[in-house]
Structure 1
């Protein structure tokens, strides 16, 4: 095994330690793991540099992954190196009259998307130099024939959301040794971009999946929408839906939820992803999506195109299922990428530590864009011409979520509570009922009239009785909501 191969293997272990420390909120362990990561990247760059120092053929350098610098980039790194060698690096960096060229920032973002499947699938925007971003949260807009009333105008405009791109801060630390400064601009560029990419990727992926919304993005596992109760800036978790088979029945029921936004508007479903823990990917998801054919090869049983993305930042036994493009994430660098001297984190004594701040924001575009799943009882796919007894799965006729437009339910929704009240002055509201188990059937009635899930109910003046009946095998449960329409 070559030195570079060994470094690659070490890097896998280091990233695992980094993720474990973050999950356990182990600050000391995280600092040590991040220092190991920076050291691993440094050793990789030094190993290449030993072979390529003095090489002038640009084609050879490019083939070895050495990025050719523009004159602005070369000037930037030369001035940075001089400042970092100064006896007073804090003051020298603060007085530096150059900022990181936008081409370097763009290269980091391109590598983020190329090397991380989740970031390549979502609506990821390099928001350099922008402070506001406008997103379409409806996913579907149409022109209207005839007179455009105030009500229709309000409905169309409500699908756009302005996002403050400076709301959340993401810092990447750069431990830089004098040995790295001696290699020259091309190798310093390679090292800085690699450390920035790994640091930002870890923070971004954790925020996209698990972010609380408080000083970080709103994660895919969180509830969003007008009637969500946000406590201290933290968004509540979605209740997981139990998925026991990756077949067209259960996946079809889940995908039907994604096909309607929280306002009851139908939309096309595309770019489906499922994010799972790597351990669950091999132990549960692969057996549930493949079977051995008579020819002795494995065949995929997924009913339609779904990209399975393993992520160590997804908790075991849980998964996220949804449309990747329905998650927005924007990221830019503060002051166009100005480095700062840092003594916040202590690394090795022979290193000086700097940091660069990223600013951004991220969120699901509506509450029906992503579903949280419980895959703890996911069963293997079976293809045999014989009678089999499927493994018993507990029946569950409860809801995991119930919404009537943006109305507030009294009391607040809980799966075990079956009776609610709400008031409205609207003529209609969309009723959305999410079963706790993907195979369960949901029947919604307003009075005696049955309506489809995720469609609008029409209210009469006074009290309207809504019944939501959930059936799973022999189990049945009925929820009742009395909606009072005020004239």
Structure 2
């Protein structure tokens, strides 16, 4: 059997090819890499089976990943093997009256949420057999004391929405040789689950981070919520906030944006994660978060609890930072899910290609839950006292300014300081996103101060909103005239 380190290295190289193909939108390159991965998994399973072919101890088999099948799973795989061995597998598979057991997907999902660093941190769930579900995007809700007025009812129910969990499809190809079929149901299950786990982990990770929302999840790096300009089904990318240090001031500034949801409701910030490219992890993140203490031991200097996760799906020079629990992910199969014969690929005579269709849907529960960081100029952390951060250029520009779901006129541009907007609502949230993590933001409506991300109350007629951005010696003020009709 192959050395485990060699196998991990080989599989890692293939997964990197798949990630690059997704980023380049090269379906042919992705398919070739994925088929290479399937064959690698199949060869590993065959070698493992040969090594344990005479093992009768079920505990030993279980330890090696050969699961003890349920009666429904065994029945299903036996019918599949019989169909795959037939002269017309396509028709034979269509005639199988047993659907793909949900317990198989449950097992794959358990593997994902246990061993995949990113997926294990999300609000992830299996939705097998479901087509639509209700979910609360607000998270924490206050109990209502006294009379349940229409306003309270509206606030309590405003975060609930119906989600179509089947709108984004995933396909996993299975090249299956005659030798694999001869091993029996337990080993075929072992192979199928490994392929599904790799297919979901790789395809989902890119979608979770960068997905446009068109035929894929809406990524953490995309804008969501009311007023977002969705073009041809694709959600716009978030503007990165420039960071020069991962210290209390800069991390505190960007984290404070998450302390209110898109509706202006205050919430506890928790479950923080930071996704970074593996190259950046070693090149930028470690030098910016580790320093040698006086006793010669390297210690973390990150001032807040955040888990840093390496992901090849993140573009170099950027990081995605936010609350893991505020990203919803649903994975499953349709009720009539089956292994199907595929006409898309042709291999050697003893190997046929099959297909398993799944679905997945993911999105951030609100726009403030995640921010994108520009980490190209992160500075190494040092214990000595300096008067000013090295290579830091003061920047008092905003990267985005949002007043509820309203559309600013003209469209927001960091160089434009004056805007107008009309509203019929009594209140709207005001959220300002700085271009750099060192900038401080002060918002006023008339003479009243408003917390960034908080609600402003409008008087009839014109209301003047001023957003003052201060970074070092620079100050810039954006003005919005909000007319309440």
Task: Report whether the alignment pairs 1:89 with 2:95.
Answer: no
2:311 match: 311
Alpha carbons 2:212, 2:222 under 8 Å: kept: yes
Tell me the residue number matched to 1:420: 419
Per-residue deviation, 1:105: 1.4
The offset of 1:450, in angstroms, is: 2.5
1:389-468 maps to which residues of 2 (within 5 A)? 390-468=389-467
Counterpart CA distance in 2 for 1:142 and 1:460 is 27
Q: Which of 330-339 and 155-164 deviates more? A: 330-339
Post-superposition Cα deviations, 1:211-261, rounded to whole Å, max 9, x if no partner, equal: 111111111011111111111111111111111111111111111111111
Q: Secondary structure at the match of 1:471?
A: strand
Matches within 5 A, 1:96-175: 96-175=96-175
Counterpart residue number, 2:267: 267
| Residue 388 of structure 1: how far off its partner (Å) | 7.4
Alpha carbons 2:221, 2:320 under 8 Å: kept: yes
Where in structure 2 are there 5+ consecutive unaligned residues? none
Distance 2:358 2:438 in 1: 43
The match for 2:475 is 476
Matches of 2:215 and 2:357, distance apart in 1: 14
Note the alpha carbon deviations across 1:48-86, whole angstroms, 9 max, x for none.
111111211112212222211122211211111110111
Distance 1:470 1:345, change over 3 A: farther
Q: How does 1:38-437 map to 2 (within 5 A)?
A: 38-347=38-347, 350-384=350-384, 390-437=389-436
List structure 1 segments (4+ residues) > 3 angstroms apart after TM superposition.
1-5, 345-350, 386-390
1:29 to partner: Cα distance: 2.5
Q: TM-score, normalised by structure 2?
A: 0.97
Instruction: Calculate the TM-score normalised by the size of structure 1.
Output: 0.96
CA contact (8 A) 2:19 2:206 kept: no
**CA contact under 8 A between 1:4 and 1:44: conserved in structure 2?**
no
Look up the SS of the partner of 1:46 in the other structure.
Answer: helix
The CA distance in 1 between the partners of 2:57 and 2:40, in whole Å, is 27
User: CA 1:3–1:429 in 2, change beyond 3 Å: closer, same or farther?
Assistant: closer
Q: Is the 8 A contact 2:346 2:352 kept in 1?
A: no
Provide the C-alpha distance between the structure 2 equivalents of 1:461 and 1:7, rounded to a whole number of angstroms. 68
Matched position secondary structure for 1:357 = strand
CA distance in 2, matches of 1:485, 1:388: 47
Residues 290 and 99 of structure 1, relative CA distance in 2, 3 Å threshold: same
Kept in 2: contact 1:31–1:345 (CA 8 A) = no
**2:22 touches 2:206 (CA, 8 Å); kept in 1?**
no
**CA offsets 1:89-108 (integer angstroms, 9 cap, x no match):** 11111111212222111101
**Deviation (angstroms), 1:112:** 1.2
Distance in 1 between residues matched to 2:23 and 2:354, nearest whole Å? 25
Contact 1:273 1:308 in 2 (8 A): yes
